[in-house]
Structure 1
Amino acid sequence: MSKLRTRLFQSWFRLSRPMTLGVRAAVENEAGHVFMVRHTYVRGWYMPGGGVEKGEPAVDALGRELVEEAGVRLNAEPRLISVYSNHHNFPNDHVLFYHVPWGSWEPVKATSLGEIAETAWIDPKLPPEGINTGTRMRFEELYGGLPISPYWAHRT
């Protein structure tokens, strides 16, 4: 059922937006662990983030998504790591990836209802099973010295 719901949402999203833009962030706690979410509508662990709405600046979208999914409010400008092509997922899709270190955010009540199944702080050098290729690549770039790829997950 979740696969059908995801495909219907993705189809609607593609028809309503010929180019899509998303944001994701590596939000770190004091121990250097990264906040991860498991959504109710797709399998696996992801860094918090989501789509940029029409007319919305990307950094505002990131701030909105972090409050919704992670209960994190930015109190400093996040650092943009790179812009990635996500064409393997949708034609003409891009993802902006940000770094949000400890001290640049404050905890607030998460506002997303029903979207998040589980959250965890994980060591990015020892990621859990179930993270996708894109998340694994971002961890290797940010924490392992891997050169930054222009592709979120797979070269098309």
Structure 2
Amino acid sequence: MTTWRARIEPFTRPLFFAVVRATRGMTLGVRGVAVDAEGRVLLVKHTYLHGWWLPGGGVERGQTAEDALIAEMREEAGVLVEGRPVLVSVHSNERFFRGDHVLLYRIDRFTLTDRTAHGEIADIGWFDPSALPDDTHRATRDRLSEIFGGADRAVSW
């Protein structure tokens, strides 16, 4: 199912990036790998992007990376992080957006509640890292392969 947001995203993305580039020298994003008791990982489907992704988002001015991750996990997936998430890796996202970096965190302690963001996330799901849906985004597959499959950690997202 393609939503109107997914259809207009290729046209609105350049405008969004132009505004961000004009107001920020570098951008920073966070993604979370929440792992449940059965070893499954949480993935989300956005209303404006194709496929399954790790939940996360951008770090705003005045916000720490951990605070951004905790907020995004609650908003997108209804995950209440308990304790501090563990920083797994840092990646350059230059191929997607000049000056962008992504911090990847692992979350093993959490409780589930209702999502607070509506309209951004179409679906959430828990998946065995070795049996991901076919339409899982390449970067998500790569990061999970690094964490669970022993692949070398890439410096690029």
Q: Same fold (TM over 0.5)?
A: yes
Unaligned runs of 5+ in 2: 1-7
Q: Give the length in aligned residue pairs.
A: 150
**1:3 positional shift:** 1.8
Separation in 2, partners of 1:131, 1:15? 31
Counterpart position of 1:134: 139
1:134 is paired with a residue of what secondary structure?
helix
What is the TM-score normalised by the length of structure 1?
0.91
8 Å Cα contact 1:3/1:41 also seen in 2: no
How far is 1:75 from its partner? 1.0
2:35 maps to what in 1? 28
Please identify runs of 4+ aligned residues in structure 1 that moved more than 4 A: none
Structure 2 residue aligned with 1:56: 63
Identity %: 42
Residues 6 and 41 of structure 1 are in contact (CA less than 8 Å); yes or no, is this contact kept in structure 2? Answer: no
CA distance in 2, matches of 1:37, 1:2: 17
Alignment of 1:1-156 (within 5 A): 1-101=8-108, 104-152=109-157
How far off is 1:29 after superposition?
Answer: 1.4
- SS in structure 2 of the partner of residue 145 of structure 1: coil
**1:6·1:42 contact (CA, 8 Å) conserved in 2?**
no
Residue 51 of structure 1, CA deviation: 0.1
Q: Provide the TM-score with structure 2 as the length reference.
A: 0.91
Specify every segment of 5 or more residues in structure 1 that has no aligned partner in the other structure, as ranges.
none
Q: CA deviation at 1:126?
A: 1.3
CA distance in 2, matches of 1:47, 1:96: 12
